[in-house]
Amino acid sequence: MIPFISNAAVTEVNSSGNLNDKAGASKSKLPVQIFRLTDNVSGNLTMTNNSAHKKIFLDTNGNNITNSTGSPITNNSSTALEIIGSGNVQSTLKTFSASQSSNDHTGTTTISNSDSSTVVVDDGHTFSQDNQAVTFSSFGSNRPIVPSGTTLVISSSNVTEGTTLSTAQTEAVLGTTSSHKIANVVASINSDTYNTAPGSQLSGIDALSIGSTFTNSSGNFKVFNGWCFVGASGFSLFNFAQTLDGDGNVQSTSNASFGAGSGGSGLAAGVSSSSLASVTTTSSVTVISTGRRIRFTNNLAIAVAITGDDNPFGSVSVSSGATQTANRDSTDGSFAIVGTISGSDGSSQPYALVPVNDGTGSIVTTKHTGTLSASAL
């Protein structure tokens, strides 16, 4: 009980809100403020600063103050708020959530109500994928160049982006004369771009007006309107808008060979690769791909249990100050996690994700006999 004090304002409280407003303009001017609960309060009680106040009491009077979404008390007064009585004053906020819905997400997410715990998504994870198709769109020294962002595994060695393949590496990726690994080629013939698979006819090309095939007098090659097999020398792409001799033989051609072609592995010697847009392999290449590394760091003072609908970590408990890491074999950076705390401190005060008082002022609880919540921050 609070003894009679002159110049004191007594205000009964049965709901959440601003205590100054509940006292009213006249009573708020008195130096001693006494607020007495007449019922349980759900939510927050706020005290704003008033230079006239010298003493402020909050008598729980056997009633409880609980807030499921934040702190039960916000004292912004320069005068300490003294809590007395046997009622409990607690926050019951025990869970936080964090999510990123975009699959393209990377970066740091700082989680509210978690003491600035974080979820970091980056590209710090790589993984091996077998039987992949690779498209080469750049060529050097008449051979394919490993595409940007790609690492190939050739003969148990990693070959990184920007590397021009050697003869042996080209044959390993594109195949040999007897066993090619080319799925598709896009090339420019007579200033037009065509897309085809090996051995198939390039539609719309008949520069010699002789139909789909032609064999010269030596019988060394056949022209398939752009594609040809040159004896045992592999694949060649022909630009054959040239003249025929009197016997109908092709006088000259230009080509770009793939695999173990007439120019060796890669493009034929002396042929500009500028006419070649891309070569796509069959699904026969092992690729080192960049995935996603997802890390949760617990900045709380106690352990937190992680669950969630899109939870890359699984159901785990993460200790205070620890980091839980999950790796994804994809570029999906989305997540949706829920963190839950439990337990009590050494004084049997149940943990909450916020302090009892989140204001700029202080509280005094030396004469309070109820149970306060304990901050997990």
For the chain, domain boundaries: 8-91+348-375, 95-125+291-340, 128-289
Low-confidence residues in the chain, pLDDT < 50:
189-191, 199-245, 248, 250-274
The type of residue at 217 is S
Show the tokens assigned to 218.
């030596």
Q: 221 forms bridges with which residues in the sheet?
A: 230
The pLDDT score that the predictor gives to residue 185 is 67
The pLDDT score that the predictor gives to residue 254 is 45
The pLDDT score that the predictor gives to residue 316 is 97
The pLDDT score that the predictor gives to residue 170 is 80
pLDDT single digits (tens) 204-242: 343 333 333 444 444 433 333 333 333 333 344 443 333
The pLDDT score that the predictor gives to residue 291 is 93
* CATH architecture of the domain formed by 95-125+291-340: Sandwich (2.60)
List CB contacts of 218: < 8 A, sequence separation 6 or more.
none
pTM (predicted TM-score): 0.73
Which residue in 26, 22, 11, 88 sits closest to 57, CA to CA? Answer: 11
Could you give the CA distance from residue 349 to residue 346 in angstroms, rounded to a whole number? Answer: 7
